[in-house]
Every structure is written in C-alpha cells, then in structure tokens.
C-alpha cells in the first residue's frame, strides 16, 4: 500500500453529533414555524436518517408517512424553503455553542496538519452547514485547513452513492490508495468503499447497530485521554486514543 497522504472526513455524526443535537431539533423548529404538526422524535429520526440529504428526507417523510401538508403549487420549492428554514435554525444552534466536535477529532486534525497530510471533507449536508460547523468549533481559519470540501448538491447522487468521494478525490488529484475515509454510518461506508477508499468507522449515537462489514476498523470514537475510545473491530493499538501514527500503520497494513 503506498504511503498515506490524505484524510477525508464525513461531517454529520463523524466530526460532530450534529444529527442528535442539531438537525433533528432544527427540523422540528422549522416544521412548527411553518404551521405543521410534524414531530420527528429521536426514534423516528433514526429511521429517517436512512435517507441522506435533508430535502430528500422531507420528501421521503411526505411520501412514506403521508402527513398532512399544505396544498402547494410547487412542492419542490416548498420543500427547499422548509429545508432552508431548518438550516437557519441549525446555524443558530451551532452559533449557540450547543454542538461540539466529537472527542479526539480536533487532536487528529492537528496531528495530520503537523505531519503535512492533506485534509478534505466529503458530506451530504449543505456546504454552508459545514462551514458554519467549522467556524463555530475550530474557528474561521480552519476552513482553509481542508484542501477540498465536497458537500450537498454538488453531485446529483448523495451517499450511499460513491459520487461525493469520487468528486473529492478528483479535486484532490489523489488516488484512493493514498487516502483514508472517516465515516459513522453504513451509508457513508458504502459511499466511501464504493470509491475504493479504505474506511475507518467511528460509530455514533444513531449508527450503533449498523453493519460495518468492509471497514478497516470500527471504534466508538477517536477518543482522548479523558474519554478513551473502545475498539469494536480492529487492532487494539488504536485505543485509548486514535493517533495519526496508528492510522498510518493501519493504512499500511491493508493489502
């Protein structure tokens, strides 16, 4: 395996627990403001997360759960405006400091930068959501840490399709063999491995029971001294905190 050159991160659930603490709450706020009596409970939201993309999730909810919705001329535009309202509420939650990075994420990003590795993002969420998360957690300058930020509708097919990872690899002008992807869901794993990327899983609140067959390791987080991580599948040397040198070793051990 050629030497590791880049780390590519998913956002929601991987960099931060944004679904549990942010998007779900913001969706419900937007529904209430629009006069809808929809309530996305944590349980229902876990189901709805099978559909990636906020607009796609709302459409699926309308189709699958047949809730009451106002008669509108242009349903696509109506969903887009509901989604924009959700994102406005989501940004308020981010600015309010309610959503922090998962343990160990900042450490690993800093270690990778120190070692001269390329950093990138491949996500389904809206570009402005990524930028606001970075601004509110790591500061404005952190946006420049990422050589490529592939997000949202830049590709027509969202995860589990591999398109967003293929798009990012093209932007980075790197082959998948020299990169490592970080994901938290089965859909994300399918997307990354579909682009031939070795994929490291930090399972999260909504993905504890996902099937991660095909991942190079599965942990419950990246861990740090105060909050050590557990290895669910993979070498013990990854715990108690996933260090860059351990990732380099793991990547090199892949056939």
**Tokens 């715990």, residue located:** 239
| Count of Cβ atoms closer than 10 Å to residue 218 Cβ | 21
**Tokens 């913001």, residue located:** 26
Question: Among 6, 8, 11, 148, which residue sits at the site for ligand XBP (rule: CB under 6 A)?
Answer: 11
**Tokens 């067959």, residue located:** 213
Q: Taking CB under 6 A as the rule, does residue 199 contact ligand XBP?
A: no
* Helix ranges, 154-243 (H): 163-172, 186-194
Our answer to whether residue 211 is catalytic in this structure is: no
**Binding piece for ligand XBP, criterion CB under 6 A, among 38-46, 50-58, 198-206, 222-230:** 50-58
Q: Taking CB under 6 A as the rule, does residue 104 contact ligand XBP?
A: no
Q: Taking CB under 6 A as the rule, does residue 23 contact ligand XBP?
A: yes
Question: Among 6, 12, 134, 169, which residue sits at the site for ligand XBP (rule: CB under 6 A)?
Answer: 12
Residue 30 or 229 having the CB closest to ligand XBP: 30
Q: Taking CB under 6 A as the rule, does residue 126 contact ligand XBP?
A: yes
**C-alpha triplet 128, 38, 188: angle, nearest 5°:** 45
The count of residues interacting with ligand XBP (CB under 6 A) is 17
**Binding piece for ligand XBP, criterion CB under 6 A, among 4-12, 95-103, 108-116, 245-253:** 4-12
- Provide the token pair at 23: 């998007």
DSSP-based three-state secondary structure for 214: coil
Residue 54 or 221 having the CB closest to ligand XBP: 54
Q: Taking CB under 6 A as the rule, does residue 103 contact ligand XBP?
A: no
Q: Taking CB under 6 A as the rule, does residue 58 contact ligand XBP?
A: no
187: closest CA among 232, 157, 225, 228?
A: 157
Question: Among 54, 103, 162, 221, which residue sits at the site for ligand XBP (rule: CB under 6 A)?
Answer: 54
Q: Taking CB under 6 A as the rule, does residue 10 contact ligand XBP?
A: yes
175-211 per-residue burial string, b: 16 or more CB within 10 A, e: under 16: ebebbbbbbbbbbbbbbbbbbebbbbbbbbebbeebe
Contact call for residues 219 and 232 (beta carbons, < 8 A): yes
> Do β-strands 217-219 and 231-233 pair in parallel, antiparallel, or remain unpaired?
antiparallel
Active-site position among 10, 163, 184, 220: 10
Our answer to whether residue 10 is catalytic in this structure is: yes
Residues with a catalytic annotation lie at 10, 12
Interface residues with ligand XBP (CB under 6 A)?
10-13, 19, 23, 52-54, 83, 123-126, 129, 159, 188
């Amino acid at each position: 395996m050629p030497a590791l050159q880049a780390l590519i991160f998913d956002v929601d659930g991987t960099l931060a627990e944004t679904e549990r603490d942010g998007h779900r709450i913001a969706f419900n706020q937007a529904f209430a403001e629009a006069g809808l009596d929809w309530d996305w409970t944590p349980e229902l939201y876990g189901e709805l997360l099978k559909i990636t993309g906020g607009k796609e999730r709302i459409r699926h909810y309308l189709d699958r759960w047949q809730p009451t919705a106002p008669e509108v001329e242009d349903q696509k535009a109506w969903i887009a405006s509901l989604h924009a309202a959700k994102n406005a509420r989501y940004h308020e939650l981010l600015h309010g400091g309610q959503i922090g990075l998962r343990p160990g994420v900042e450490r690993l990003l800093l270690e990778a930068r120190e070692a001269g590795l390329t950093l990138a993002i491949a996500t389904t969420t809206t570009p402005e959501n990524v930028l606001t998360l970075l601004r509110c957690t790591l500061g404005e300058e952190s946006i420049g840490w990422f050589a490529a930020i592939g997000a949202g509708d830049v590709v027509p097919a969202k995860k589990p399709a591999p398109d967003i990872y293929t798009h990012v690899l093209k932007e980075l002008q790197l082959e998948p063999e020299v990169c490592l992807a970080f994901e938290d869901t089965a859909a994300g794993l399918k997307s990354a491995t579909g682009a031939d990327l070795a994929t490291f899983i930090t399972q999260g609140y909504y993905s504890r029971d996902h099937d991660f067959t095909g991942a190079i390791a599965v942990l419950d987080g990246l861990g740090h001294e105060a909050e050590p991580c557990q290895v669910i599948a993979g070498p013990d040397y990854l715990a108690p905190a996933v260090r860059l040198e351990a990732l380099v070793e793991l990547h090199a051990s892949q056939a």
